[in-house]
A and B are shown apart, each in its own frame.
Chain A
Amino acid sequence: MTQPFPGDRPVDAALAREFGLSEGEWAHAIDVLGRAPSYTEAGVLSVMWSEHCSYKSSRAHLGRLPTTGPQVVQGPGENAGAVDIGDGFCAVFKMESHNHPSYIEPYQGAATGVGGILRDVFTMGARPVASLNSLRFGRPDHPKTPHLLRGVVSGIGGYGNCIGVPTVGGELSFDPSYDGNILVNAFTVGVAKTDDLFFGRADGVGNPVIYVGARTGRDGIHGATMASAEFGAETESKLPTVQVGDPFMEKLLLEGCLEIFARGCLAGVQDMGAAGLTSSSVEMADRSGNGLELDLDAIPRRARALTPYEMLLSESQERMLMVAKAGREHEVFEVCERWDLDAAIVGRVTDSGRFVCKATPGYDPLAAAPGPRAPVVVVDLPVALLTKEAPKYERPERAATAAHGRTPARDVSGSPVVRAGSAPSGDPTTGLSAALVGMVGSPNLGSRRWVWRQFDHIVQVGTVIRPGDSDAAVIRVFCEEPGAGPAATKVKHLALSVDCNGRHVQLDPYVGAAMAVAECTRNVACAGARPLALTDCLNFGSPEIPETMWRLARAIDGLGAACRALDTPVVSGNVSLYNETDGRPILPTPTVAVVGQLARPDDRLYLAFATEGATIALLGAPGAGKLGGSEYYVQTHGEVGGEPQSLDLDAERALQDAVIALAQAGLLQSAHDVSDGGLAVCLAESCISGGRGARVTLPGLGVEATLAGQLFGEDPSRIVISFAADRREEVARVAKAHGVPLTVLGEVGGDALELRAAGTGEAPVVARVPVATLRDAHARALEPIVGAG
């Protein structure tokens, strides 16, 4: 039975409401406990039953995702997922959102997002080897966009660069729907020996619970307290909601943890992320079916007079909770001393199945006279009530039209693409030529060099393909056999990509989500790698809006179907809901990141046209030239619209198999998937990257396709490849063997990209732009937002 604690606020329905607990949830808690929760317990319930921790709106649907396969070492439910990469090693990875904090304080929000995902990975016993990120900002000319973009990019760099994990790629786009709700999704992959993975478990009744890392302050405590009437303006100025990251501390924690793990003295470990000490203890106890008892008086702290409520809900960064094997605690302390890390025994594993916390009223170890210890029970809750038996909703759904929740159309009469028009032109300043320059130089399609220059993308000497040079990042990872010396180290090559185009999801959540998986796996295949598995971050608006809930459910079905067809199970993930302002949701954005593996390093592919005279061809069906959901449509209509794309998953699978086979046969000089901006932008990017022109005849797409549709339509399942002219027969044979159409488009050469209409003989030039003009436009695409230089 809990006892009241000095400073507890009255516990009633009003408090429950303020803590975000519904009437039904509050009644359920009272019913199960047979009493009203204490103030601290109410706080614990509110965070554990929050959408973030309990997935209460999405749990009913997430079960439909495929999560198994021979390659899966660890599926969802742990701190991160893991896939086999051979020789007893695995790749450990996860993606997580840090959207709201990044909007409030872009540098620290993004930095702590990176810190959190790194901890999720090294908690599993894996050394992080690379990070990616997926970023969404509001419209480029929104007054807050430059500040948010600069802050987020430097925050990601500030954390990743310092801890020394290379940020090797990512994606960035702009849309007015993100004006008030930016997205910052961070991905990290690490490598571990499969037999040495660690899990977030509180195994072994009687084992000590050890707190390691930064001390606890009042960082990021439940926003509900901020609104409390008991806190005046003066107090509020002392109570930050945004945590400050300390990447140096995290680096010590990383090295210290890996040393502790190697000693084999732990039964389990979990980082303190969202909902801090509470969720880490409760989740570890839950996975083991045990209970946990914490002595809050022992929590290392940096702030005076912390209450149990604050200690349990603090989101101070760079902290780990370990369960040591009884009798081997001293080994943890030895390593912590070597790395200057604070560590303290704060509890023990019990067989009660309950989460019990004790604290002494008035006790403050930081005070000159801390006072005597006489702990009382402040929390005594069944673990299951906080986890498996947490509320779970099947929220009402209503089919949404593409227009539902859509940002109103903007006036585009001044846009360069509209002004250029859609008439054929061989002059780069008019018609389709100028439209192509406008597209290549638009913030959504232009070069991201300004971004990745600010990330250390080469630390750890593993970055084989740097950002922007291929459709996916390619890294080599050193798989060290513990104690076996460098000669026994195996080098493996991974390809990484992250993708989502929310516009296609807006038009059709099922197809759009499947397209995200298709594009992401296709990117990995275009680097020459076989996709292995996937992690996702489902960013949506409020699940209490039936149309949004419907989109979420449909998107999950689309993801599931694509993952099954492409044999990339979901091994980890995260859901971020309520991304909306004034009732207007973000574009539904189910971001996915895929990890693939190259059979040999020589299989890797770049996107640049590499040699004069090489043959350019389109692998995959040419498509219908539909402009629905495309960048071109938005630039010419000022809103997301048009007819949704369609996706044939069998054709997609065959296409990816074909490009991987071509890579492994060493037949290709380049591969680049056709995605945002369509075929013309794809060709332009290969020209820019290679510093070479191309003479191309557009594939005939039937009478319905406009010229603009042929150039800029975003039909999925297409890859532009180039190869030596004398390998054409072999390439055709491989394509045919996979049942994939191959259309020769032209050849690499000259100093301009020249596009001709389909037809025989000397078909008319549709667009002709010097590569230098394309390169300049591409390089300067972000200048309107972040300035030159």
Chain B
Amino acid sequence: MNAKIYVTLKTEVLDPQGDAVRRSLASLGFERVKAARVGKLIELKLDETDRTEAERAVRRMCEQLLANPVIEDFRFELEPSS
């Protein structure tokens, strides 16, 4: 399986980088951008064919390392490797 993991700051956590991006976009004329959040995309190739197993493993990876639950949320997508 392949996994795409998105790690973002929780909605209520200050995201100075996202704010900076929004302001810059506004100064380029994209004034209808009301908010910007910047996060991380992590791609994994797993030696695992069982979706349930992969899901369980990726969740644990997120909880233990890839995201800090104190300030970050995560979500992920799984797809069979081609």
Contacts and interface: CB of A to CB of B under 8 A. Distances in A.
Contacts of A104: 70
A218 B16 contact: no
A244 B12 contact: no
Interface string A103-115: 0110010000000
Given A248-B16, A249-B16, A105 B70 contact: yes
Interface string A214-251: 10011100000000000000000111111110101100
Contacts of A241: 70
A238 B14 contact: no
A560 B15 CA distance: 44
> Chain A at the B interface: mostly helix, strand, loop or mixed?
loop
B74 to A, nearest CB: 11
Contact of B14 (A237, A239, A316): A316
Interface residues of A, number: 22
Contact of A303 (B12, B71, B73): B12
Contacts of A242: 70-71
Contacts of A105: 68, 70-71
B68 A214 contact: no
Given A105-B68, A237-B10, A238-B11, A246 B73 contact: no
Interface in B54-82: 68-71, 73
A578 to B, nearest CB: 19
Contact of B71 (A214, A218, A240, A248): A240
Contacts of A238: 10-12
A240 B16 contact: no
B14 A244 contact: yes
A249 B17 CA distance: 11
Contact of A302 (B10, B14, B73): B14
B5 interface: no
B70 to A, nearest CB: 5
B9 interface: yes
Contacts of A237: 10, 69, 73
Interface string A232-273: 000001111111101011000000000000000000000000
Contacts of B12: 217-219, 238-240, 303
A317 B16 CA distance: 12
A219 B14 contact: yes
User: Which of the four size classes fits the interface of chain B?
Assistant: 10 to 19
A288 to B, nearest CB: 31
Contacts of A303: 12
Interface string B1-29: 00000000111111110001000000000
B14 to A, nearest CB: 5
B55 to A, nearest CB: 19
A246 B16 CA distance: 6
Contacts of B9: 244
A249 B10 CA distance: 20
Nearest to B16: A246
A631 to B, nearest CB: 33
A367 B71 CA distance: 25
B67 to A, nearest CB: 11
Contacts of B14: 214, 217, 219, 243-244, 246, 302, 316-317
B10 A219 contact: no
Nearest to A246: B16
A238 B72 CA distance: 9
A218 B11 CA distance: 10
B28 to A, nearest CB: 17
Nearest to A238: B12
A244 B73 contact: no
A108 B70 CA distance: 10
Contacts of A302: 14
A311 to B, nearest CB: 14
Interface of B: 9-16, 20, 68-71, 73
Given A105-B70, A240-B10, A246-B14, 7 more contacts: A214-B14, A219-B12, A237-B73, A238-B10, A240-B71, A244-B9, A248-B20
Of all A-B residue pairs in the complex, the 10 with the closest CB atoms, nearest first, are: A246-B16, A244-B14, A105-B70, A218-B12, A238-B12, A242-B70, A240-B13, A240-B71, A244-B13, A104-B70
8 contacts: A104-B70, A218-B12, A237-B69, A238-B10, A244-B9, A244-B15, A244-B16, A303-B12
